[in-house]
Structure 1
Amino acid sequence: MGRIVYWMNTSIDGYIEDRNGGPGFGEPAEDFQEAANDHVRRIAAFLFGRRLYETMEKPWTQDLGKEGAPPLEREFARLYKETPRYVFSDTLQTVPDGVTLVRREDARSTVTRLKRETDGTLQLGGPELAVSLLDLIDEFWVYAQPVIVGGGKPYLPVTTELRLRLAEHRSLASGITFRRYVRP
């Protein structure tokens, strides 16, 4: 049975985007890119909401896959393209090969089926999608960048308390921290 991991990069004040809708974190540090590549090597599939999918797809399938990009970023692009991707959207009409389009109304049944049929990690991304599937998430991963953005889109806009247990914590030389939380 698969595990669903909700992973987003945040500011230390808990936002995935600043007030202007951008990540506001600057260029990724090399040690972060190495850690991200290590995680992506073990991912069985990406499960994205539409906005995160649109943020990820072009840069990692077209821009950074080109010659001249840093080697770690080219490796991430290769790993990203090789990993099955599911996008949950009611507005997209088509997606490229390697991506499966799922209507939002079918998200719960699709993710439940994938979790049952997959041996490995299903990486969930996108706060609205995560909230709609909150009870299916096994782990919460946070890479906190050493920046305070002072507002924007929160990591997980829940309206109720969710208690978790810290299972792993690492600090990277760049000042980025990784925290992995599981349900108690």
Structure 2
Amino acid sequence: MGKIIYWMNTSMDGYIEDSAGGLDFSDPDEDFQQAASDHVRRIEAFLFGRRLYEAMEKPWTQDLGKEGAPALEREFAQLYKETPRYVFSDTIQTVPEGLTLVRRKDAVSVVTRLKQEIDGTLQLGGAELAVSLVDLIDEFWVYASPVIIGGGKPYLPVRENLRLRLVEHRSFASGIMFRRYVRP
């Protein structure tokens, strides 16, 4: 049976986007970039909400990782392109070949099926998608950058008490703090 990891980069005050929808508050170092590549090597698929898909797809398949780019960037871009990607959206009509489009109304049933069929890790990204799938998430990963942005989209905008247990933490030279939580 598969395991679902919800991973998002955040500000120190818990936002994945600033109030203008920007994602540029993080300044990852080589350690962080290597950790991201190491993680992607071990996952079976990405599960993206529409906004995160739009933020990731063009940069990592077209803009970044080209000849002359840093080796770690090229490595991550290649790993990203080789990993199956599922996009959950009701507004996108088509996705490029190699990606799978899933309507939001089908998210729980599709992810439940994937979790049963895939023996490995499924990486979930996107706060709104995570809220709709919160009962299926096994681990919550937070990479918090040392910046306070004061508002925006929260990591997980749930209104219920969700108890978690910290099982791993690590700091990077850039000041990014990684925390991995599981359900008790």
TM-score interval for Structure 1 and Structure 2 normalised by the shorter chain: over 0.9
Alignment of 1:48-67 (within 5 A): 48-67=48-67
RMSD of aligned Cα (Å): 0.9
Greater displacement, 98-107 / 22-31: 22-31
CA distance in 2, matches of 1:64, 1:94: 23
Could you tell me which residue of structure 2 aligns to residue 124 of structure 1?
124
CA distance in 2, matches of 1:24, 1:127: 17
Is the CA contact 2:29–2:173 (under 8 Å) kept in the aligned structure 1? no
Identical counterparts, % of pairs: 82
Residue 174 (structure 1) shift: 1.7
CA distance in 2, matches of 1:81, 1:62: 10
Per-residue CA deviations over 1:4-40 (Å, capped at 9, x if unaligned) read: 0000000110001111110132442211101111111
Q: Helix, strand or coil for the counterpart of 2:22? A: coil
CA distance in 2, matches of 1:178, 1:109: 30
> Is 2:82 the partner of 1:86?
no
Q: Helix, strand or coil for the counterpart of 2:143? A: strand
The answer for unaligned runs of 5 or more in structure 2 is none
CA distance in 1, matches of 2:28, 2:64: 13
Could you tell me which residue of structure 2 aligns to residue 180 of structure 1?
180
Is the CA contact 2:29–2:172 (under 8 Å) kept in the aligned structure 1? no
Is the CA contact 1:8–1:125 (under 8 Å) kept in the aligned structure 2? yes
Residue 98 (structure 1) shift: 1.6
CA distance in 2, matches of 1:117, 1:86: 15
Per-residue CA deviations over 1:89-134 (Å, capped at 9, x if unaligned) read: 1111111122100111111110000000001100000000000010
Aligned length: 184
Q: Helix, strand or coil for the counterpart of 1:160? A: coil
Greater displacement, 28-37 / 151-160: 28-37
CA distance in 1, matches of 2:45, 2:80: 9
CA distance in 1, matches of 2:22, 2:78: 24
Is the CA contact 1:143–1:178 (under 8 Å) kept in the aligned structure 2? yes
Is the CA contact 1:5–1:123 (under 8 Å) kept in the aligned structure 2? yes
Could you tell me which residue of structure 1 aligns to residue 17 of structure 2?
17
CA distance in 2, matches of 1:129, 1:94: 19
Q: Helix, strand or coil for the counterpart of 2:39? A: helix
Normalising by structure 1, we get a TM-score of 0.98
